[in-house]
Amino acid sequence: MITLDHIRDAQARIQGIVYRTPLLPYFGSAPDQQLYLKLENLQPTGAFKLRGAYNLIASLSDQERSRGVVAHSSGNHAMAVAYAARAVGTHSTIVMPPHAPEVKQRKTAEFGGNVVLHGSSSQDVAEKAAALAQEHGYVMVEPFNDERIAAGQGTIGLEVLEDIPDLEAMIIPVSGGGLISGIATAIKLSKPSVRIIGVEPEFAADAQASLRSGQIVSFSADQVIRTSAEGLRVMALGDVTWPYIRDYVDDIVTVSEDEIRQAMRHLALDVRVVAEASGAATFAAWLFHRDELPVVKRSVCLISGGNITAELLRDVLA
């Protein structure tokens, strides 16, 4: 089980590699209901994923590092693993679907990752990565279903509580659960009164269905691929992350594709923050689903990433 000590150890381990990102007060919130934006899009790899990837890879033994690592990802985890592997002096192979954004494929290669394009769904790329691990002896770096990954992501929760001790709610995007499970654990074990709210696209709302039914619910690849938020196109929560979500997450709301795009546009033009679709989902919930969120004096939206293609950004701003 993930403990506060695990997350504090991760916080010490990632220092010097991972940025302590700022909390930006949102000008559009009322003084008695202040919203802050936690800007993980400012990480060296453009997203929060570096925290978990570096925590795991840096904790490997010398023998494990000598074997190299392998990962599967649509982009943000891919870049994080390549960056972290280079930082600790090991090599990385990353399996990505061909439809992953070109900018994420290119950055993964620039950070030193050996990119292997394969399949179309998260299951396809996961199976290919597992086969490469078996064939070459690589150490698998899971994108979310690992307690070391979740502990690394949980360092965001510690930072937010240190900066806002009177925090009352945190709004977090949900994919496979590594991010929200780590943050929720850090916050609930430190300050149980804080409300933890997850956000998903309507097309990939498996976590909401799971939380409401009390068991893991899986969506089809054809369903989840319909969302533009490629970082949230996971078909089901991980069996490692699910218990933390079940125990610590208070609710999960969903947002439409149009709401995500409007949130991206507002962030870029009015807040001057560039967020990818996955990163803007939480802000979309705050803009359009306020009635489903806790009425509190201090809340935080996690802007989880900003790796967007020039073409999509141009389209969103048009």
The tens digit of pLDDT for each residue in 218-231 reads 999 889 989 988 88
Give yes or no: residues 24 and 150 share one domain. Answer: yes
Q: What is the CATH number of the domain that holds 57?
A: 3.40.50.1100
Percent of the chain with pLDDT over 70: 100
Give yes or no: residues 83 and 97 share one domain. Answer: yes
Domain boundary among 140, 175, 205: 140
Give yes or no: residues 20 and 152 share one domain. Answer: yes
Mean pLDDT along residues 296-313: 94
- Domain residues for the domain of 20 are 4-47+146-317
Give yes or no: residues 127 and 160 share one domain. Answer: no
Q: What is the pLDDT of residues 188-215, one digit of tens each?
A: 999 999 999 999 999 999 999 999 999 9
Give yes or no: residues 88 and 153 share one domain. Answer: no
Report yes or no: 201 and 223 within 8 Å, Cβ to Cβ: no
Give yes or no: residues 92 and 237 share one domain. Answer: no
Q: How confident is the model at residue 101 (pLDDT cuts 50, 70, 90)?
A: confident
Mean pLDDT along residues 241-259: 97
Give yes or no: residues 168 and 286 share one domain. Answer: yes
Q: Any residues with CB less than 8 A from the CB of 96 and at least 6 apart, and which?
A: 72, 73, 74, 75, 78, 104, 105, 108, 115, 116, 117, 118, 125
Mean pLDDT along residues 86-103: 92
Pairing of strands 195-201, 113-117: unpaired
Give yes or no: residues 165 and 279 share one domain. Answer: yes
Give yes or no: residues 57 and 41 share one domain. Answer: no
The yes-or-no verdict on residue 2 having pLDDT over 90 is yes
Q: What is the pLDDT of residues 41-93, one digit of tens each?
A: 999 999 999 999 999 999 999 999 999 999 999 889 999 999 999 999 999 99
Domain boundary among 112, 140, 168: 140
Q: How confident is the model at residue 182 (pLDDT cuts 50, 70, 90)?
A: very high
Give yes or no: residues 216 and 128 share one domain. Answer: no
Percent of the chain with pLDDT over 90: 88
Instruction: Report the sign of the C-alpha dihedral through residues 185, 189, 190, 194, in that order.
Output: positive
Q: What is the pLDDT of residues 267-302, one digit of tens each?
A: 999 999 999 999 999 999 999 999 999 999 999 999
pTM of the predicted model as reported, rounded to 2 decimal places: 0.95
Taking all residues of the chain, what is their mean pLDDT, rounded to a whole number?
95
Give yes or no: residues 179 and 232 share one domain. Answer: yes
| Dist. CA 166–CA 285, nearest whole Å | 22
The total of other beta-carbon atoms located within 10 Å of residue 15's CB is 10
| Dist. CA 177–CA 64, nearest whole Å | 26
Q: How many domains does the chain have?
A: 2
The total of other beta-carbon atoms located within 10 Å of residue 12's CB is 8
Give yes or no: residues 43 and 75 share one domain. Answer: no
Domain boundary among 140, 156, 181: 140
